[in-house]
Chains A and B, each alone.
Chain A
Amino acid sequence: MSEALHELTIHAALDGMRRGDFNAVELTQALLDRIDQVDGQVKAYLTVTPELALAQAAAADARRAAGDDAPLLGVPLAIKDVLCTEGVRTTCGSRILENFVPPYTATAVQRLADAGMVMLGKTNTDEFAMGSSTENSGYFTTRNPWDLTRVPGGSSGGSGAAVSAQEALAALGTDTGGSVRLPASYCGVVGLKPSYGRVSRYGLVAYGSSLDQVGVLAKDVRDAALILGVMAGHDVHDSTSMPTPVPDYQAALTGDVRGLRVGLPDEYFIEGVQPEVEAAVRRAIDVLAEMGAEIVRISLPNTDKALPVYYLVATAEASANLSRFDGVRYGFSAGADSILENYRESRGQGFGAEVKRRIMLGTYALSAGYYDAYYLKAQQVRTLIKQDFERAFEQVDVIASPVAPTTAFRIGEKADDPLAMYLSDVFTITLNLAGMCGISVPCGFDNAGLPIGLQLMGPHLGEETVLRAAHAYEQATTWRSHWAQPEKAGVS
């Protein structure tokens, strides 16, 4: 065995356990050792659960000895800390939930557990998934494993960094405006955002309910397909989960993209994109063309409206969703003298700056006199954005673009300028508004050695096509053989 256990993909680890080369306890211990080695610097995890993980691993080994071969049996994974886990603290990166221990487990997580997952712990996130860097976490900022002075992207930055630093074989994230794809791009791993309704949101602490979707950060496309297949599908606890049958996503990974129509939207290749990013994405498209894909120039004319639409729709939904944090049923309570004063103080003290900013923006957009001008208008323009994609997908099978205009930025660089931070999401939020699916797959490095992500977008429930294209590209290139080495970096 040439690779250390923590360096394995999920499918390689499963092969090893099936052959009896090692067992789940040994694999889990290797990951826990890796966390001990590098997480002091990377800071991907908010909570590590070693005893629980080793107990789950021992149970997985017993199941395997009894002839069980569940799809994730003994596979150590990390879970973003916005997904509820019964008996394991779930903070959402917020001080207001510092001591919250959920009484139930999110469906997406439960399905992984039923398939044999070993949970290593809960990963850092921007508070309530509101951010693009993890700098909005109420606890600490996660570091990019490729350069510890830079952000990992957000909001699922802990999950991106954990996979990139090989502190988990894969991790769950959530994507409301790019929060899986952006950290995947910045950290050089695969990030899959399924279509809205493909994965149950039950037990995902809500941010923007019409946009939120559980996704996967993984070492390769096959692993992402495997996890999606386990967690996708209808859930009686989420009325917005689609009853559509779940296909065999791994069977879609044929390596064949001949005749696949790949759209290049003019609006995603614009001024302001870092030249190395545009060059890497264009080279990736050339690779797909050499493999037999047909490249088609397209237009998504309302792309420039997506950012303001997103920041009105998402914040309006957030302002309603976060009203549940009232200091009465769970979470921080300031213990003020009147009930109204206790709401104000508990929320004012418990929430961080970005969360308060978004609640304020959303409340304003929904308030009397402004509803039509902001919220309703945004929902109407959302229709135009969705129609752009519907028209485009009559012409093409997937759409290719950069994930973000730049590679990972420095910690603190955009912390005082919310609008500049929001621009990191300019190429990812459109898919959430349209409810469609997409993936970030590594496609190179910039001059500073930072990873670049290729975004492949597909129509609603088009995951098989997106995975097929991403997998074919990945197999034709060697980017996935490059890994961050945070253990060799000095503290700066």
Chain B
Amino acid sequence: MHLTIDEVRHVAELARLRLSEAELTLYAEQLSAILDYAETLQQVDTSHVPPTPYVLPLHNVMAEDTPVPSLPNAVALANAPDQADGFFRVRAVFED
């Protein structure tokens, strides 16, 4: 299979990645090659095989519902590129 530049552009938009035209071209080629390789899986009969999302026999692990200390506000914000009044600051989500 061969991914088109437009398909790669669409995936980049889903992934919130700005890619240059050169990157789009390169990834179209490389992802196509990797997906071709992955096509070998289609030959495997998995009609009665359950998926393995993870390997442990643990399910619905619960914790005691007791309050424990959390990061102080200033520490949680210490790595923020932008902050104001104890909050992360971002550009407006809604335009006027």
Chain B CB within 10 Å, residue with most, of A103, A196, A242:
A103
Q: Report whether B80 and A377 are in contact in the complex, using a CB–CB cutoff of 8 Å.
A: no
Q: Report whether B58 and A363 are in contact in the complex, using a CB–CB cutoff of 8 Å.
A: no
Stretch at the interface among A48-56, A379-387, A402-410: A379-387
* A330–B81 CA distance with the chains assembled, in angstroms: 6
* A184–B6 CA distance with the chains assembled, in angstroms: 42
Residues of B within 8 A of A360 (CB): 8, 11-12, 15, 17, 27, 31
B84 adjacent to chain A (CB < 8 Å): no
Q: Report whether B46 and A329 are in contact in the complex, using a CB–CB cutoff of 8 Å.
A: no
Q: Report whether B15 and A359 are in contact in the complex, using a CB–CB cutoff of 8 Å.
A: yes
For B46, give its contact among A239, A330, A357, A381 (CB under 8 Å).
A381
Q: Report whether A344 and B18 are in contact in the complex, using a CB–CB cutoff of 8 Å.
A: yes
The count of residues in chain A whose C-beta lies closer than 8 Å to any C-beta of chain B is 72
Q: Report whether B79 and A347 are in contact in the complex, using a CB–CB cutoff of 8 Å.
A: no
Q: Report whether B51 and A337 are in contact in the complex, using a CB–CB cutoff of 8 Å.
A: no
Given the known inter-chain contacts A197-B56, A379-B52, please indicate yes or no for A305 contacting B44, CB distance below 8 A. yes
* A336–B58 CA distance with the chains assembled, in angstroms: 43
Interface of B is mostly: loop
* A338–B90 CA distance with the chains assembled, in angstroms: 9
A:361-414 near B, CB below 8 Å: 361, 363-364, 367, 373-374, 376-384, 386
Given the known inter-chain contacts A333-B82, A386-B55, please indicate yes or no for A305 contacting B40, CB distance below 8 A. yes
B:66-82 near A, CB below 8 Å: 71, 75-76, 78-82
Chain A nearest Cβ from B1, distance in angstroms: 11
Q: Report whether B17 and A240 are in contact in the complex, using a CB–CB cutoff of 8 Å.
A: no
* A347–B55 CA distance with the chains assembled, in angstroms: 31
Task: Pick the 6 closest A-B CB pairs, nearest first.
Answer: A435-B55, A348-B18, A379-B51, A333-B81, A330-B79, A380-B46
Additional A-B contacts beyond A343-B16, A348-B19, A364-B35 (18; CB < 8 A): A99-B79, A104-B71, A323-B16, A328-B80, A333-B81, A339-B92, A347-B16, A357-B30, A360-B31, A363-B11, A363-B14, A364-B11, A377-B46, A379-B52, A380-B46, A383-B46, A386-B55, A435-B54
18 of the cross-chain contacts (CB-CB < 8 Å) are A100-B79, A103-B75, A209-B54, A308-B37, A311-B34, A311-B38, A338-B91, A359-B15, A364-B11, A364-B31, A376-B51, A378-B41, A380-B44, A383-B49, A418-B30, A419-B33, A419-B37, A434-B55
